[in-house]
Amino acid sequence: MDRKQMCVANVQYKKPSDDGAKQSKNLLRYLTYRESRDEAARYATGRERWVDHGMGASVADIAQHCDDLKSEHVLAFSLVFNPNPDLMGMVAPDGQEQFVRELTESVVDDFFDARGLDTGIEYSYVLHHRLTDDPQAPGLHDPHTHIVLPGTVYDEEHGDRVPLFFSRNSKENHVELLHGVTEQKMSDLMDRYIGLDWERRYDELTAVREQERQIVADEPHGEITDDKGEVWDMWCGTRRTDDQTTALGFYRFYPVPSQEGDDALQLEFRPLVSGLTHEQAVFFAEAFAREMDGDTGKLKDLTEMLSEMSADQRAALTKEIGRSLSFDTSPTFEL
């Protein structure tokens, strides 16, 4: 796999101005009481929410430390570590939180060690448990952390605090170093939590998804009208979610703004039923593509019916359709 896709690691900073201080406090409140823009915090709020490594465990404490330890140009830095949801999906649900906590603390420690800051640095972080908003795979667990760092760091050689900085130049690129440390720690943790075959499993997942996209080489199964009244070809198909489950839905091309100014077209999947076994998803996708007979509304009725069924009912329907296919290649469903 492309190691750069293992984990997003971003860094930003706030200026030590009145606006910067206000923005910083608003960010701290947001991080304390939200999981994402659309989700309130699921667990304890306030002091219990933050893991304190010297910057405090509440909005007031952290804001005060940011002010006390600011530099001339930086009030505070904020980092985000967001592991790839596909990789996190391989980790057992009861181990995901510990995985992300270990990742956060080991990356911060090793990153500053690599920079020669042996005295370490104060920081506090909060763990968020948002769900993915990716339209191709919505609702997946997407744990990530937000870390707050001061604008200065203690320098043993100077015997005082000096400005903390993140250089991005050919001589010293701290952001590139941060990404490299993050990738190495992600790989080490995946080896320990999943086993040495995790990368092979990820590559197989990617290969299956690419194969599933090839359905657009066939004739479209119908047409779909978007919010602007434009009509697009669509294909009933599947998209592998993880080792155990596959989603059933449809593919179509979506316009995406490009740097040249003209919209480019991008093929994307939209799930209608999630959590199916791989075999069931493929079976129903093929059966529904025949049964919908070009009617997208009928496809949505069929998938809505399927989503309301229990696992036993889906298995029974699979057998029923299989028997009908022995006599008639165009089975009909009673909705």
State which residues of the chain have pLDDT below 70: 43-47, 259-262, 323-335
pLDDT in tens, 278-300: 999 999 999 999 999 999 999 99
Rounded distance between C-alpha atoms, residue 206 and residue 254, angstroms: 21
Rounded distance between C-alpha atoms, residue 22 and residue 74, angstroms: 14
* Global pTM value: 0.88
Q: Is 228 left (phi over 0), alpha (psi -120 to 50) or beta?
A: alpha
Contact of 205 with 242, CB cutoff 8 Å: yes
Rounded distance between C-alpha atoms, residue 23 and residue 17, angstroms: 10
**Residue 5 DSSP symbol:** G
Rounded distance between C-alpha atoms, residue 7 and residue 91, angstroms: 14
Q: Give strand pairing partners of 166.
A: none
Output the pLDDT for position 263. Answer: 75
Rounded distance between C-alpha atoms, residue 302 and residue 284, angstroms: 9
The greatest distance separating any two alpha carbons of the chain, rounded to the nearest whole angstrom, comes to 86
Share of residues in the chain with pLDDT > 70 (%): 93
> What amino acid is encoded at 41 in this protein?
A
Neighbours of 164 (CB within 10 A): 22
Euclidean distance between the first and the last CA atom of the chain, given in angstroms as a whole number = 43
Contact of 24 with 117, CB cutoff 8 Å: no
The tokens describing 135, both together, are: 């339209």
**Residue 147 DSSP symbol:** E
Q: Where are the domains of the chain?
A: 3-196, 213-325
Neighbours of 277 (CB within 10 A): 15
Output the pLDDT for position 8. Answer: 95
Contact of 87 with 126, CB cutoff 8 Å: no
Rounded distance between C-alpha atoms, residue 59 and residue 50, angstroms: 9
pLDDT in tens, 28-75: 999 998 888 777 777 655 557 899 999 999 999 999 999 999 999 999
What does each C-alpha distance from 38 to 41, 55, 132 come to in angstroms? 10, 27, 11
CATH number belonging to domain 3-196: 3.30.930.30
Q: What is the DSSP string of 193-241?
A: HT-TTHHHHHHHHHHHHHHHHGGGGSPPSEEEE-TTS-EEEEEEEEEE-
Contact of 11 with 77, CB cutoff 8 Å: yes
Q: Give strand pairing partners of 168.
A: 173
How would you list the strands of the sheet with 50-53, edge to edge?
7-14, 76-83, 144-150, 123-128, 50-53
Hunting for tokens 């080489």 — which residue is that? 217
